[in-house]
Amino acid sequence: MSQDTPRVTNFIRHIIDGDLANGKHASVVTRFPPEPNGYLHIGHAKSICLNFGIGNDYQGKTHLRFDDTNPAKEDIDFVNSIKEDVKWLGFQWAGDIRYSSNYFEQLFDFAVELIKNGKAFVCQLDSEQMREYRGSLTTPGKDSPWRERSVDENLDLFQRMRDGEFAEGSHSLRAKIDMSSPNIKMRDPIIYRIRFVEHHQTGNKWCIYPMYDFTHCISDAIEGITHSLCTLEFEDHRPLYDWVINNISIDVHPQQIEFSRLNLEYTVMSKRKLATLVEDKLVSGWNDPRMPTIAGMRRRGYTAQSIVEFCKRIGVTKQENVIEMSALDSCIREDLDVKAPRAMAVLDPIKLIIENYPSDYVEELNVANHPKDESMGKRIVPFTKELFIDRADFREEANKKYKRLVIDKEVRLRGAYVIKALRCDKDDNGEITTIYCTYDDETLGKKPSDGRSVKGVIHWVSASEGLNAEIRVYDRLFNVPNPAASEDFSSVLNADSLVVYHHAMIEPSLAKAIPEAAYQFEREGYFCADNIDSSPEKLVFNRTVGLRDTWANDKK
């Protein structure tokens, strides 16, 4: 991020300012610690911007660390996608990428230390018994029958767990804290469990894996993290975070600070629920352009700058709230309005023949790439006797509010001439197949000489010079603001979240559109070339966002 970017303050920065002023810390070290069990989403982007933004603004450091303690749900593909997302958003981590698995030996030693100090024990309750013994929010838990094992017996059993002598679920290592604590997280939580699963970093070296709450705080301390920033759902984890650090031999004690997570209308932010969408094939994958994943948003055409700006605008607070989708859409519209060149694409083409235009003549029109930025130059758009216009831009009859093409009425073709519709042909089903019209050859770039007013403007593509393309019009995946409240995802899916136009026509200037290149298709919206499926042989464009927010009115 630019050093010239104005610093935005919030309650976390106030804490950091105080820590630096009173000498608690001489510098700031933050971290972004994703679990590699799915793709990052827009909520993670908020955390990325916060952690890396603080690291940059305070001339400190931000680590990228994978908290990889559950190999059963993790995958190297998730690791690679997360690294790519952070870089794409414009941030660079300090030093090498870190993994909690790098610290597995140290974590094991700290667990042994807890056992030796009488602060941890090996338990043989199974998962169902564990739930029974844990108690509830209104009733205290019960001590495990194995809570008072001797230190020597616990050390022996824990080593045998590591050596693979016991079956999964038969033994676990638990912290010895307080089974009557009002905070259920403090009721002798499991800190190690047995898993005979190959790990993407350590292979089959380990068959016991530390739990997240034990691993995360120690990893922070090992790395010298000063401020451990996390979302509010970890607030009741903080006493355990502090307990672990206070009961092992380590000098650094990071400060955990919680902030509100991002809740966005018409989508879900749970990785578990996003995984369900993928696994149940309700979307095409983690990078489906309808998904709120960073990879999906990037594929759809959201820019890194628009996402960072969105995260800046929503701010950082402790107050839970729901952000309207229109706030995100505004950021991408504002960004692309400035930087996206204009082009013409006809999604649902219908042929238009200009009867008084010369046959076999291709006129090269110079059309501005951007109406507000001359530095973006001009492009050649071929104009011919036969064109395609959008089917929705023609009616045989219409009232005065309809400003497009009507029989015996005139419109202007964008960047070209004024035309007048004469008649149309229809097929056996009554569908219009061809429109016939005339053009006024004195109206290129100027108004009709007799002063008549022509208010409508429509876009077009040459029938002979235009190119075929597949255009995917994406919309919100769900049709209710809070889909997470529904028990059945499929019942609230938006049936119109993807409409594909297989026979769209585009102007030839788009022939060499590179993946992720953004354009404003005149009167249609902002689009980008798909970064997976589009190629010179088959051009595929995704709609990023419409020109206006029509959702509120259209969906009432």
CA distance linking residue 169 with residue 187, whole number of Å: 19
User: In the annotation, is 271 catalytic?
Assistant: yes
* Catalytic one of 119, 185, 195, 261: 261
Q: How is residue 397 written in tokens?
A: 């009859």
Pairing of strands 432-440, 363-368: unpaired
CA distance linking residue 242 with residue 254, whole number of Å: 9
Q: How is residue 484 written in tokens?
A: 């997470």
DSSP code, position 398 = -
User: In the annotation, is 333 catalytic?
Assistant: no
Determine the 3-state secondary structure of 541 from DSSP: strand
Which stretches of 237-351 are DSSP H helices? Answer: 238-246, 271-279, 294-300, 304-314, 325-339
Contact between 433 and 361 under an 8 Å Cβ cutoff? The reply is no
Contact between 520 and 341 under an 8 Å Cβ cutoff? The reply is yes
| Integer angstrom CA distances of residue 201 from 75, 102, 103, 104, 423 | 10, 9, 12, 11, 69
Phi then psi for residue 122, to 5 deg, are -85, 125
Residue 419: CB atoms within 10 Å? 27
Residue 116: CB atoms within 10 Å? 13
Determine the 3-state secondary structure of 517 from DSSP: coil
* Catalytic one of 13, 31, 35, 290: 35
By C-alpha distance, which of 308, 369, 395, 320 is closest to 517?
A: 369
- For the chain, the C-alpha Rg in angstroms (whole number) is 30
* Catalytic one of 149, 176, 187, 271: 271
CA distance linking residue 164 with residue 208, whole number of Å: 8
CA distance linking residue 333 with residue 544, whole number of Å: 9
| Integer angstrom CA distances of residue 85 from 88, 178, 268, 299 | 5, 41, 19, 12
Residue with tokens 């009002």: 182
CB burial class (10 A; 0-12, 13-18, 19+) of residue 61?
buried
Q: How is residue 165 written in tokens?
A: 């002598």
CA distance linking residue 2 with residue 405, whole number of Å: 48
Single-letter code of the amino acid located at 309: E
User: In the annotation, is 261 catalytic?
Assistant: yes
Within 8 A by CB and 6+ apart from 52, the residues are: 1, 30, 32, 62, 86, 91, 93
CB burial class (10 A; 0-12, 13-18, 19+) of residue 523?
middle
Catalytic residues: 35, 261, 271
